[in-house]
Amino acid sequence: MSQNMPPITDDDLHAFVDGALDPERQTFVAAYLAQNPQQQRRVDLWQRQRDLLREGLDSILIEPLPPELTMMHLLEQRQRNRFAWMAGHARIAALILLAFGIGASSGWFGRADLAVPAAATTAGTATGIAALKLETRAAYRIFAPAPRTADDTAAPATAHALARAVGQGFTVPDLTAAGYTVARVEWLATMHGPAAVVMYRATDTKPLLLLVRKMDVPATSDRMTEEHHRGRSMFTWISHGVGFAVASASAPERLHHIANQIRADERAL
């Protein structure tokens, strides 16, 4: 039988250990190993690795699952998130109508992308960073299509108002080094207090939105979080009680870099 067998390769030795050979080949490899102590030793150790790994790791299989990893919890969470999204949108829509008047938001309700699937959400209740994300998404939908140039005469007054809303020491971040210029600065009334929205424009990529406001709840983490949905990315973080969100349809890496820069500049103040 061995006459017609192709020569033994390393792949055969692995397949031997993993039981992936047909019986004839398995016998052939076993006979080869019996003649080659060095390879036999190698294969023995591989088998020992497998046995030890399984022995060491199998206890995880019988550990009780943490509640958040049970199917019941996961399915419930999914339902909740769906509901929270609908509720969140309705609330923000109402707020924006109040803030800008119905005329400013005409065309918005008709947009197909208003219905965002539940999978994109990360939080079941809209407070803290989850609320900040919802507001940023809503603001992006409104302002990204129309990043008109800021009125130079109004800019100083806007900046002053921003400082009052968000806190002393806040200035509109300068992103000219990254290729972005300020196109528009807006106020937004949210459930959690006044927010500042800055639209930036670049010649070579999509507009960028920065939303800043004081947080309604204390920060639980100073880590930056991110989410990506339908080609848009958002990075959020909390610093000294102020929440920051940047959103854009430009490349996530570029946006991330800018988010890091804004955070670094803000910390340096």
Q: Which is nearer to another protein, 110 or 267 (CB)?
A: 267
**Cα 146 to Cα 161: distance, rounded to the nearest angstrom:** 22
Locate tokens 């939908």: which residue? 141
The shares of helix, strand and coil residues in the chain, as percent rounded to the nearest 5, are: 50, 20, 30
Q: Which is nearer to another protein, 122 or 127 (CB)?
A: 122
Build a one-symbol-per-residue string for 84-123: x at contacts with another protein by CB under 8 A, - elsewhere.
---------------------------------xxx----
Shortest separation between residue 52's beta carbon and another protein, angstroms: 5
Among 2, 59, 153, 221, binds another protein (CB under 8 A): 59
The amino acid at residue 254 is R
What residues between 246 and 265 interact with another protein by CB under 8 A?
253, 256
Which residues lie below 8 Å from residue 231, measured CB to CB, with a gap of 6+? 249
Q: Which is nearer to another protein, 50 or 160 (CB)?
A: 50
Does residue 216 bind another protein (CB under 8 A)? Answer: no
**Cα 167 to Cα 241: distance, rounded to the nearest angstrom:** 10
Residue 97 phi, psi (nearest 5): -60, -45
Q: Which is nearer to another protein, 10 or 152 (CB)?
A: 10
Does residue 22 bind another protein (CB under 8 A)? Answer: no
Q: Which is nearer to another protein, 66 or 110 (CB)?
A: 66
Does residue 152 bind another protein (CB under 8 A)? Answer: no
Locate tokens 């929205």: which residue? 197
Build a one-symbol-per-residue string for 1-20: x at contacts with another protein by CB under 8 A, - elsewhere.
---------xx--xx--x-x
Does residue 48 bind another protein (CB under 8 A)? Answer: yes
Q: Please report, in angstroms and rounded to a whole number, the separation of the first and last CA atoms in the chain.
A: 79
Shortest separation between residue 70's beta carbon and another protein, angstroms: 8
Q: Is 212 helix (H, G, I), strand (E, B) or coil?
A: strand
Q: Which is nearer to another protein, 54 or 267 (CB)?
A: 54
Piece of 25-33, 56-64, 126-134, 209-217 that binds another protein (CB under 8 A): 56-64
- C-beta separation of 201 from 144 below 8 A: no
Q: Which is nearer to another protein, 48 or 160 (CB)?
A: 48
Does residue 68 bind another protein (CB under 8 A)? Answer: yes
**Rounded to whole angstroms, what are the CA distances from 65 to 14, 62, 69?**
33, 9, 6
**Cα 220 to Cα 203: distance, rounded to the nearest angstrom:** 37
**Cα 112 to Cα 19: distance, rounded to the nearest angstrom:** 53
Supply angle C-alpha 40, 43, 45, rounded to 5: 110
Supply angle C-alpha 207, 160, 129, rounded to 5: 55
- C-beta separation of 141 from 113 below 8 A: yes
Shortest separation between residue 248's beta carbon and another protein, angstroms: 16
Shortest separation between residue 26's beta carbon and another protein, angstroms: 16
Residues that bind another protein (CB under 8 A): 10-11, 14-15, 18, 20, 42, 45-46, 48-50, 52-63, 65-66, 68-71, 74-75, 77-78, 117-119, 224, 226, 253, 256
